[in-house]
Chain A
Amino acid sequence: MRYESPETTEAAVELLAGEGPRCRVLAGGTDLLVQLRAGMISPERIVDIKRIRETQEIRVDDGALVVGAAVSGAELGEHPQAKGIWPGVVEAAELIGSTQIQGRATLGGNLCNASPAADTVPALIAAGARCRIAGPHGMRTIPVEDVCTGPGQISLGAGEFVLAFEFPVRPPRSSDAYLRFIPRTEMDIAVVGVGINLTLDEGGHCVSARVAVGAVAPTAIVVEKAGATLVGTRCDEQTLEAMAAEVRAACRPIDDKRGTAEYRTAVAGVLAIRATRIAVERARNA
Chain B
Amino acid sequence: MKGEADSAVDRSKAKDGPAGGSETGGEKGDTPTRWIGTRPVRPDGVDKVTGRARFGADVHLPNMLVGKVLRSPHAHARIRSIDASAASALPGVKAVITRDDFEDRPSEFVPAGEMLVNYRDMVRNVMAREKALYEGHAVAAVAAVNERIARQALSMIRVAYEPLAHVIDVDEAMAPDAPLVHEDLITAGVEPPPTAPSNIAKRIEFVHGDVSKGFAAADIVVERSFRTCPVHQGYIEPHACVASFSEDGQADLWCSTQGHFVVRGHCAKLLGMEVSKLRVIASEIGGGFGGKTVVYLEPLALMLSRKSGHPVKMAMTREEIFRATGPAPGTHIRVKVGMRNDGRIVAGEAELKYQAGAFQGSPVQAGCMCAFAPYDIEHVKVIGHDVVVNRPKAAAYRAPGAPQSEFAVESVIDEMARKIGMDPLQLRLANAAKEGVKAAYGPTFGPIGLVETLEAARDHPHYRAPLAPGQGRGIASGFWFNIGGQTCATLNLGEDGTVALVAGTPDIGGSRASLCLQAAETLGVDATRIRPRIGDTATLGYTFLTGGSRTTFASGMAVIEAANDMIRQLRKRAAMIWDIDADAVRWVDGEARPAGANAGEFTPLSLAEIAGSAGKTGGPIVGRAQINAQGAGPGFGTHLVDVDVDRETGRVSILRYTVIQDAGRAVHPDYVEGQLQGGAVQGIGWALNEEYIYDDRGRLQNPGFLDYRIPVCSDVPMIDTVIVEVPNPSHPYGVRGVGETPIVPPMAAIANAINDALGIRFTDLPISPPKVLKSLREIG
Interface residues of A (CB under 8 A from B): 181, 183-189, 256-260, 262-263, 266-267, 270
CA distance A75 to B774 in the complex (A): 40
Could you tell me which residues of chain B, from 747 to 780, have a CB within 8 Å of some CB in chain A?
A: 768-770, 773-774, 777
Shortest distance in angstroms between A242's beta carbon and chain B's nearest beta carbon? 17
Of the candidates A257, A267, A270, which one forms a contact with B707 in the assembled complex, judged by CB atoms under 8 Å apart?
A257
| Nearest B-chain residue to A269, judged by Cβ | B648
Determine the distance from Cα of A189 to Cα of B650 in the docked complex, in whole angstroms.
Answer: 17
Q: A183-B689, A257-B693, A270-B649 are in contact. Are A188 and B773 (CB under 8 A)?
A: no
Within the assembled complex, what's the spacing in Å between the Cα atoms of A187 and B693?
Answer: 19
In the bound complex, residues from chain B placing their C-beta under 8 Å from that of A266 are: 773, 777
Chain B nearest Cβ from A188, distance in angstroms: 7
B465 close to chain A: CB less than 8 A: no
The answer to whether A263 touches B773 (Cβ under 8 A) is yes
Question: Are A183 and B768 CB-contacts (below 8 A) given A257-B702, A258-B707?
Answer: yes
- Contact indicator A185/B773 (Cβ below 8 Å): no
- Chain B count of residues within 8 A CB distance of the other chain: 22
Stretch at the interface among B84-92, B113-121, B333-341, B709-717: B709-717
Cβ-defined contact, B770 with A259, below 8 A: yes
A184 near B711 with CB under 8 A, answer: yes
Nearest chain B residue, comparing its CB with the CB of A192:
B649
Which of B702, B770, B774 has the most chain A CB within a 10 Å cutoff?
Answer: B770
- Chain B residues with CB under 8 Å of A262's CB are 770, 774
A-B contact pairs, 22 of them (CB 8 A): A181-B649, A181-B769, A183-B651, A183-B688, A183-B689, A183-B768, A184-B709, A184-B711, A184-B712, A184-B714, A184-B715, A185-B714, A185-B715, A187-B712, A188-B706, A256-B701, A257-B707, A263-B650, A263-B769, A263-B774, A267-B773, A270-B648
Q: Which residues of B contact A256 (CB under 8 A)?
A: 701
Quote the shortest CB–CB distance from A11 to chain B (angstroms): 30
A270 to B711, CA, bound (A): 24
Bits for B632-653, please: 1 = Cβ < 8 Å to A, else 0.
0000000000000000111100
Q: How far is the CB of A20 from chain B (nearest CB, A)?
A: 24
Tell me the complex Cα distance, A280–B114, Å: 59
Q: Which residues of B contact A183 (CB under 8 A)?
A: 651, 688-689, 709, 768-769
Shortest Cβ gap from A228 to chain B (Å) = 24
Which A residue's beta carbon lies closest to that of B714?
A185
Would you list which residues of chain B between 648 and 707 have a CB under 8 Å from chain A?
Answer: 648-651, 688-689, 693, 701-702, 706-707
Most A-side CB within 10 Å, residue of B649, B701, B712: B649
- With known contacts A257-B693, A266-B773, A270-B649, A186–B768 Cβ distance under 8 A: no
- Whether B770 contacts A260 by the Cβ 8 Å rule is yes
For residue A257, which residues in chain B have a CB less than 8 angstroms away from its CB?
693, 701-702, 707
Min CB distance B678 to A, Å, is: 18
Which residue of chain B has its CB nearest to the CB of A187?
A: B712
B779 to chain A, nearest CB (A): 15
Q: Which residue of B lies closest to A271 (CB)?
A: B649
How far is B773's CA from A270's CA once the two chains are assembled, in angstroms?
12
Q: How far is the CA of A262 from the CA of B712 in the complex (A)?
A: 26
Expressed in whole angstroms, the Cα–Cα distance for A126 and B773 within the complex equals 28
> What's the dominant secondary structure at chain B's contact region?
loop
Q: Are B714 and A263 in contact (CB under 8 A)?
A: no
| Known pairs A183-B689, A183-B769, A267-B649; A189 contacts B706 (CB<8 A) | yes
Q: Tell me the nearest residue of chain B to A273, going by C-beta.
A: B648
Q: DSSP class of A's interface residues: helix, strand, loop or mixed?
A: loop
B651's nearest neighbour on chain A, judged by CB, is A183
- Indicate if the CB atoms of B770 and A263 lie closer than 8 Å: yes
Option from A181, A188, A259, A263 in Cβ contact (under 8 Å) with B709: A188
Min CB distance A101 to B, Å, is 12
Supplied contacts A187-B706, A189-B707, A263-B650, 18 more A-B pairs, CB within 8 Å: A181-B649, A181-B651, A183-B688, A184-B689, A184-B711, A184-B712, A185-B714, A185-B715, A188-B709, A189-B706, A257-B693, A257-B702, A259-B770, A260-B770, A263-B774, A266-B773, A266-B777, A267-B648
Residues of chain B with a CB closer than 8 A to A184's CB: 689, 709, 711-712, 714-715
Contact B649 A186 (CB under 8 A): no
**Which residues on A sit within 8 Å (CB–CB) of B770?**
259-260, 262-263
In the complex, A69 Cα to B648 Cα: how many Å? 36
The 6 lowest CB-CB distance pairs between A and B, nearest first, are: A185-B714, A263-B770, A270-B648, A257-B693, A257-B701, A185-B715
Nearest-CB residue, chain B, relative to A274:
B648
Nearest chain B CB to A96 CB, angstrom units:
13
Smallest CB gap from B685: residue in A: A184
- Cα of A262 to Cα of B709 in the assembled complex, Å: 21
| Chain A nearest CB, measured from B306 CB (Å) | 30
Provided the pairs A181-B649, A257-B701, A267-B649 are in contact, do residues A186 and B714 lie with their beta carbons within 8 angstroms? yes
Closest-by-CB residue of A relative to B708 is A257
Interchain CA distance A145-B714 in the complex, whole Å: 33
Q: How far is the CA of A188 from the CA of B712 in the complex (A)?
A: 10
Please name the residue on chain B nearest to A39 by beta carbon: B151
Task: Report the Cα distance A186→B711, complex, angstroms.
Answer: 9
Query: Closest residue of chain A to B707, judged by CB?
Result: A257
Q: Distance in Å from the Cβ of B269 to the closest Cβ of chain A?
A: 35
Contact partners of B709 in chain A: CB under 8 A: 183-184, 188
Contact residues in B for A185 (Cβ distance below 8 Å)? 712, 714-715
The chain B residue sitting closest to A256, CB to CB, is B701
Residues of A within 8 Å of B650, CB to CB, are 263
CA distance A186 to B777 in the complex (A): 26
How many Å lie between the Cα of A139 and that of B704 in the bound state? 41
Residue of B nearest to A37 (CB): B317
Q: In the bound complex, how far is the Cα of B773 from the Cα of A181, in angstroms? A: 13
Distance in Å: Cβ of A216 to nearest Cβ of chain B:
15
CB distance from B707 to the nearest CB of A (A): 5
Contacts of A258 in B (CB 8 A): 707
> Quick one: closest A residue to B771, CB to CB?
A263
CA distance A263 to B651 in the complex (A): 12
A184 to B712, CA, bound (A): 7
Residues of B within 8 A of A259 (CB): 770
A133 to B709, CA, bound (A): 37
Measured CB to CB, the closest approach of chain A to B682, in angstroms, equals: 14
Chain B nearest CB from A271 CB (Å) reads 8
Which chain A residues lie closer than 8 Å to B774 at the CB level?
262-263
- A267→B714 CA distance, assembly (Å): 22
Chain A residues lying within 8 Å of B777, measured Cβ to Cβ, are 266
Q: How far is the CA of A189 from the CA of B711 in the complex (A)?
A: 14
Contacts of B714 in A (CB 8 A): 184-186
CB distance from B769 to the nearest CB of A (A): 6
- Measured between beta carbons, the chain B residues less than 8 angstroms from A188 are 706, 709
A267 neighbours in B (Cβ, 8 Å): 648-649, 773
The CA-CA distance from A137 to B712 in the complex, in Å, is 47
Minimum distance in angstroms from A256 CB to a CB of chain B: 8
User: What residue in chain A is nearest B702 (Cβ atoms)?
Assistant: A257
* Contacting residues, chain A, for B689 (C-beta < 8 A): 183-184
CA distance A187 to B713 in the complex (A): 10
Closest to A266 in B: B773
Give Cα A188–Cα B651 distance, bound, in whole angstroms. 14
